[in-house]
Chains A and B, each alone.
Chain A
Amino acid sequence: MTVSEERVQAIRHRLKEVQSLPTLPPIVSKLNRMVEDEEVTAEQLGRVIEKDQVLTSKLLKMVNSSFFGFPQRISTVSNAIVLLGFNVIKTLIVTSSIFEVMQESDVGLWEHSLGCATAAGILARRRGVKNPEEISTAGLIHDLGKIVVRSELPEDYARVQDLVAARQVAMREAELEVLGVGHGEIGGWLARQWNLPDRLVRPIEAHHHPETAGEFRELAAIVHFADILVRAVGFGFGGDPWVPPLDHEAWERIKFGRSVAREILAELDDKLLELQDFTMEIQRIGED
Chain B
Amino acid sequence: MQRISIAQAGPGMVTAKDVLAPDGRVLCGPGVTLTAEIIERLARSGVTVLTVEGRPVKVPGEKSLKERLRDLDARFARVKDDPVLVALMKLIAQHWIEEERGPARPAGGPTPAP
Chain A residues with a Cβ under 8 A of chain B: 73, 170, 228-229, 231-234, 241-246, 248, 251, 255, 258, 261-262, 265-266, 269-270, 273-274, 276-277
Contacts and interface: CB of A to CB of B under 8 A. Distances in A.
A261 B1 contact: no
A110 B84 CA distance: 27
B74 interface: yes
**Secondary structure call for the B interface:** helix
Contacts of B79: 242-246
Interface of B: 1, 3, 17, 24, 49, 51, 68, 71-72, 74-79, 82, 84-85, 87-89, 91-92, 95, 99
Given A246-B85, A262-B91, A231 B75 contact: yes
Contact of A232 (B17, B49, B76): B76
A265 B98 CA distance: 12
Given A245-B79, A265-B95, 16 more contacts: A170-B78, A228-B88, A242-B79, A243-B75, A243-B85, A244-B79, A246-B82, A251-B84, A261-B88, A261-B91, A265-B92, A270-B1, A273-B51, A274-B3, A276-B3, A277-B3
30 contacts: A231-B75, A232-B72, A232-B75, A232-B76, A232-B85, A233-B92, A234-B68, A234-B71, A234-B75, A242-B77, A242-B79, A243-B75, A243-B76, A244-B79, A245-B82, A246-B79, A246-B82, A246-B84, A248-B84, A251-B84, A255-B84, A258-B87, A261-B87, A265-B92, A265-B95, A269-B95, A270-B17, A273-B3, A276-B3, A277-B3
